[in-house]
Chain A
């Protein structure tokens, strides 16, 4: 049986300016993969290529064994949901209307939403625990609430794969934890989840596997403990860190320069 999401020999970037190459990995249903890497390292470009928003320079992306390069936008959107770093536009739609847009791929261009589309949007709001926000103005809710609503919108697409681009960027600590709890739940519900972050702790806490994108290549891929090592952090981020185990089986990364003694 083929993997839910399979990326093989992917080169990505723009014509004449490759950002990365030789990216190969596979993701099973229910598995969460965390992508780490420095700013400007091409994490977003890699995600956009996997989603088919920009064409791959070489290589292929397959969902359940089927090459998606010739799929229509609609078909892709039914297979893969995308939570952008900051999305939702700048018009005063209600949260419910934004989530309902996740159903576009299930309807023809001229067709209004059907009752099951409204139901799916409502279920997605319910799942994220933000049904009370349904009637709120998109421009008047907090960054954390928007992020949860964007996850609800991607969920309403009923995809098999979920891609989240730095879902906790610009969020306060409480909202970071809340969003990461939802990411964990997405995996537990059977979705193949791919997300990027700048916090190694999130990888330890949420991901089954971690990949590090370094100079356009996937430098490491494996369990959090095997990938997030002092050597790897030094190589990728140029930082001296100490990986400190904490009670409960996970670890945290402490920069050595922060230790006074």
Chain B
């Protein structure tokens, strides 16, 4: 509610009520339905998607310190997007290329991991994610070097820092289907995800088809991440921190972890985005804000959990 009211064009509670009940039209209605409404839904959806993906990766890799960035998804999506900006594509096309970049990076990482046999598969997967991510990162650097410093470079930099400033209803339509498509299998596989935290061998001895399940979970979580990154840019920390926080509250059982991570992630990014567009004269990049808020929170979490990772 507050997020609907505050902003460059403030809307009073009375006006908001009139708009929502269909009794008022004009500027307030336009602001709410065309600009603020989609952006709020977008922030919640992106926050939920990154958190749900993070929770899945953490259970899958038995490590509470991994996040959607580890499989190179974010950097792949970033490379796609900056290429799109360099080539002067339309906003929709940039999102498409970015989405493809994210999925491609994941496919590459998974391909490398499958090709290298005889080691701990999880370790190989994470390491190839880091390596491919670094490669994508240098691709981004090259594009920045080649970009026109007058128009393209600022756009690229702003996108890399994460922003929902230009989020429209069309973006919402592009974002919602892949996020929901990724969320459904993760919700259905909640019991199996618990077993996956036992490790490959134990999970198989318990009757779980580990390889197929891992591929399915990675595909679902990556789909959500790529969709989120393609519309919002690179927003770090959420996928790492929110699932971690949720696990502290409800424990590691995925049937409770997933819903709480979704709710917390949506609320967290909505709060941060509202802060981003109201706190200063200009919009503060989201990635900067999440990092500023996330770093101390993470350090506190680390210090507070005296026992083994929850």
> Contact residues of A with B, CB < 8 Å?
14, 48, 51, 53, 72-78, 80-82, 84, 87-94, 97, 101-102, 104-107, 109-113, 139-140, 153, 157
Cβ–Cβ < 8 Å partners of B195 in chain A: 101, 104
Nearest CB in chain A: distance from B60 CB, A: 12
Give the top 9 A-B pairs by smallest Cβ distance, nearest first: A105-B207, A77-B207, A91-B252, A82-B205, A74-B207, A110-B188, A89-B198, A89-B197, A104-B206
Quick one: given A53-B204, A84-B202, are A92 and B194 in contact (CB under 8 Å)? no
Give CA–CA (A92, B246) in the complex, Å.
13
With beta carbons under 8 angstroms apart, the residue of A51, A87, A89, A104 that contacts B208 is: A104
Q: Is the CB of A78 within 8 A of B207?
A: yes
Nearest CB in chain A: distance from B205 CB, A: 4
Q: Can you show 7 pairs from A to B with CB atoms below 8 A apart? A: A74-B208, A77-B207, A89-B62, A89-B197, A104-B192, A104-B208, A140-B307
Q: Is the CB of A91 within 8 A of B62?
A: yes
Judged by a CB distance under 8 angstroms, whether B148 is at the interface is: no
Judged by a CB distance under 8 angstroms, whether B213 is at the interface is: yes
Cβ–Cβ < 8 Å partners of B255 in chain A: 112
Q: Is the CB of A139 within 8 A of B308?
A: yes
Q: Is the CB of B201 within 8 A of A93?
A: no
Range, interface on chain B: 20 to 34
Count of A-B contacts with CB under 8 A? 96
Cβ–Cβ < 8 Å partners of B208 in chain A: 73-74, 104, 109
The residue in chain B whose Cβ has the minimal distance to the Cβ of A113 is B191
Q: Is the CB of A112 within 8 A of B197?
A: no
With beta carbons under 8 angstroms apart, the residue of B59, B188, B198, B213 that contacts A88 is: B198
Question: What 6 new A-B contacts, CB under 8 Å, besides A97-B253, A105-B206, A109-B213?
Answer: A80-B205, A87-B198, A93-B251, A101-B198, A112-B255, A139-B307
Within 8 A of A (CB), among B281-310: 307-310
Give CA–CA (A107, B118) in the complex, Å.
30
Judged by a CB distance under 8 angstroms, whether B189 is at the interface is: yes
Give CA–CA (A104, B167) in the complex, Å.
43
The residue in chain B whose Cβ has the minimal distance to the Cβ of A150 is B202
Nearest CB in chain A: distance from B290 CB, A: 25
Within 8 A of A (CB), among B200-216: 201-202, 204-210, 213
Cβ–Cβ < 8 Å partners of A106 in chain B: 207
Give CA–CA (A84, B206) in the complex, Å.
11
Q: Is the CB of B118 within 8 A of A14?
A: yes
